[in-house]
Structures are given as C-alpha cells and as structure tokens.
C-alpha cells in the first residue's frame, strides 16, 4: 500500500461522444516517483484519457485530481507543473535544436540562459546536435527534442502518449533509457501510454490495462508478470449468482474482470483445484475454466478481431 498521496487520482472518469463511450468509468492512481504504464490497443481510450488529464477535452463525468487538487478548478496551476508529449512534437524544421528549445521556452514565459538550454539538450542526449537544423534529425531525435521542450519548465509530472510510435529499435531504446533516467535519477513521476506490452514491462513500476475505455487489469508490474499469478477465465451457467458468492469470499480479491458469462481471476496455479471445488460446493454450474498462461496471452486475447496481433509483438 502507498503511504504518499497520489500525484494523479482519476475517479469514475467517463467521456462520451454521440455514439461512443470512449472512456467508461475509469479509476486509477499514479504515485510520486514512479513510472506508470498505461496500456491498451489503439482505440482503447488511452489518448482520450490523456487529453482529459491535460484538460484539452472535458470529461462527461467523473473527477481528476492532480497534485491533490481538482483539475477543473486549478487548471493553470496544475498544468504549469506538467510536461507532456502527445502525438508527434510540432517543431520548426528550419531552426536548430537549440533555437527550437529557446523559442518554446519563451512561449511558455521562461527566459532560460544558454547553460540551462544546453543542460536540457544534454538531458535528452542531443548536446552534440544542438546547432543542427531539425530537418536533418531522425524521428527518434525529434521525439527526444520534443521531450526536451516538455521538460524546459522542470515539471514534476511527465505525461507521454505513445512516445516510441514510429521509431526504429535504437530510437525506442533511447526513449526508454531517457524515461528511466528521468524517473530514477531526476525523481520525476511519469505516466506513459503504449500499445506494446513488452515496452511497458521493461520500464514501468505499476501499470493499468484498459480495453474499450474500461480498466481490465491494474497492479505492480513485478506481480503482474509473476508466473505464479496465472490468469484464469471462468465461464458459468449462473454467473451473476456466483459473483455474489465470490465477492463475499476469500476469492474476492482475485477477480480482475467480470464478463458476460463469468469472470477473470488472477491466481496461483496451485490454487486452481481449491477454487474449482469452492465453486462447485457453492452450487456453481461450471462450463469451463481456462488458464491463460501469462499477462501477454491475456492482453492479446483482449485485442479485437480487427487488430492484427503483430502490432503487439513487434
């Protein structure tokens, strides 16, 4: 359990467009000094949530607290302490990295001196290319410069939406190392979204998986990837009745999701026989009990038929 107060506290967040509920009753917390992975396939509601956190769009309902204050009533104070990179950074191609950074600093009302600007470029590994024009940069270098722009006002919280999208393996590794450095050495709190489980697994302390705008799994990455915590899909003839029984039993905390025909549990492999006899003794009419061997299999099983699996395993 966390003793400190969360940096981000999202409660029952919902965003509805005419036909679509993009975010559906989402609640989660991000704690100081951690990298929090925000995982889901494209269209799961990640970008919509991030836009609400940055108050670019208004929630239909629910609340967002950042640094212990309501975003609705303390917007400018909160946003002044957040650095964000969403989509591809808008940079001026014909200016150098240094000039871009100085310009964006001025736009946010700062007047950093040359040393501060060079320090930020060193932070993101671009000091040797400080005076090269951005049009000569690879996509990964542009992404790192975008991050330097987001860090110019020394924010406490960094929000990154798919920061490795479209990068080559080296670019991905550079961004990953940069995120780890910002968190572990600079003490920044970072929320990073991705559709790649392998990416989040490598950097995050805690993570949440969302699908169709709803939270399906949340927890410490070490525990979620622990082989003793198997994910089991349970189908029953009388799911509603059994859910009530389970919710007041020792198995309540193992339930990670409720489906139309049953539920999903996270459980130690050795507990499965005990769990199935409990269900049967309590009058559960079991149709099937299918272990999914890992979080990865489970994540892939969430992906809709129209999404190609290779998107997640590249």
Per-residue pLDDT tens listing for the chain (314 residues): 566 899 999 999 999 998 888 999 999 999 999 999 999 888 889 999 999 999 999 999 999 999 999 999 999 999 999 999 887 778 899 999 999 999 988 887 888 888 999 998 998 889 999 999 999 999 889 989 999 999 888 899 999 999 988 888 888 888 999 999 999 998 999 999 998 888 888 899 999 999 889 988 888 888 777 767 778 888 989 888 888 888 889 888 888 888 888 888 888 888 888 888 898 888 888 888 887 756 777 777 765 543 444 444 44
The answer on 28 and 13 residing in a single domain is: yes
Pairing relationship of beta strands 214-220 and 262-267 according to DSSP bridges: unpaired
Give pTM, 2 decimals. 0.78
Pairing relationship of beta strands 189-194 and 206-211 according to DSSP bridges: unpaired
3-state secondary structure of 106: helix
Residues whose CB is less than 8 angstroms from the CB of residue 244 and which lie 6 or more positions away in sequence, other chains included: none
The answer on 191 and 86 residing in a single domain is: yes
The answer on 137 and 209 residing in a single domain is: yes
The answer on 245 and 201 residing in a single domain is: no
Domain-terminating residue out of 192, 220, 248: 220
The answer on 145 and 276 residing in a single domain is: no
The answer on 236 and 216 residing in a single domain is: no
In a domain, 89, yes or no: yes
Phi, psi of 85 (to 5 degrees): -125, 110
Pairing relationship of beta strands 214-220 and 8-16 according to DSSP bridges: unpaired
The answer on 158 and 114 residing in a single domain is: yes
Question: What's 143-212 look like in SS3?
Answer: HHHHHHHHHCCCCCEEEEECCCCCCCHHHHHHHHHHHHHHHHCCCCEEEEEECCHHHHHHHCCEEEEEEC
The answer on 239 and 210 residing in a single domain is: no
The answer on 161 and 288 residing in a single domain is: no
The answer on 264 and 180 residing in a single domain is: no
Closest by Cα among 5, 26, 28 to 206: 28
Domain-terminating residue out of 200, 220, 240: 220
3-state secondary structure of 281: helix
Domain ranges, residue 84: 8-220
How many residues in the chain? 314
Say how many domains are in the chain.
Answer: 2
The answer on 81 and 179 residing in a single domain is: yes
Q: What is the pLDDT of residue 231?
A: 82
The answer on 166 and 54 residing in a single domain is: yes
Largest CA-CA distance found in the chain, in angstroms, rounded: 73
């Amino acid at each position: 359990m966390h003793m400190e107060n969360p940096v981000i506290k999202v409660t029952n967040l919902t965003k509805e467009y005419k036909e679509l509920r993009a975010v559906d009753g989402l609640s989660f917390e991000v704690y100081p000094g951690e990298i929090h992975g925000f995982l889901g396939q494209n269209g799961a509601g990640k970008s919509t949530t991030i836009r609400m956190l940055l108050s670019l769009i208004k929630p239909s309902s629910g609340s967002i607290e950042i640094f212990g204050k309501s975003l609705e009533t303390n917007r400018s104070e909160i946003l002044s302490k957040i650095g964000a990179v969403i989509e591809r950074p808008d940079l001026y191609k014909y200016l150098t990295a240094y000039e871009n950074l100085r310009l964006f600093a001025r736009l946010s009302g700062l007047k950093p001196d040359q040393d501060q600007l060079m320090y930020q470029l060193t932070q993101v590994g671009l000091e040797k290319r400080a005076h090269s024009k951005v049009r000569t940069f690879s996509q990964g270098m542009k992404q790192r410069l975008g991050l330097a722009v987001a860090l110019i006002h020394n924010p406490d919280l960094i929000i990154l939406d798919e920061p490795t999208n479209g990068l080559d393996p080296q670019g991905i590794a550079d961004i990953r190392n940069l995120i780890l450095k910002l968190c572990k050495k600079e003490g920044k709190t970072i929320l990073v979204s991705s559709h790649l489980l392998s990416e989040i697994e490598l950097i995050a302390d805690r993570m949440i998986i969302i699908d169709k705008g709803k939270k399906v799994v949340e927890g410490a990455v070490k525990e979620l990837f622990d082989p003793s915590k198997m994910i089991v899909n349970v189908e029953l003839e009388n799911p509603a009745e059994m859910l009530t029984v389970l919710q007041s039993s020792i198995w309540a905390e193992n339930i990670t999701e409720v489906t139309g025909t049953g539920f999903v549990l996270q459980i130690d492999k050795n507990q499965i026989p005990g769990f199935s006899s409990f269900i049967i003794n309590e009058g559960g009419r079991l149709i099937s009990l299918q272990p999914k061997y890992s979080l990865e299999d489970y994540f892939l099983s969430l992906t809709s038929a129209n999404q190609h699996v290779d998107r997640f395993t590249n």
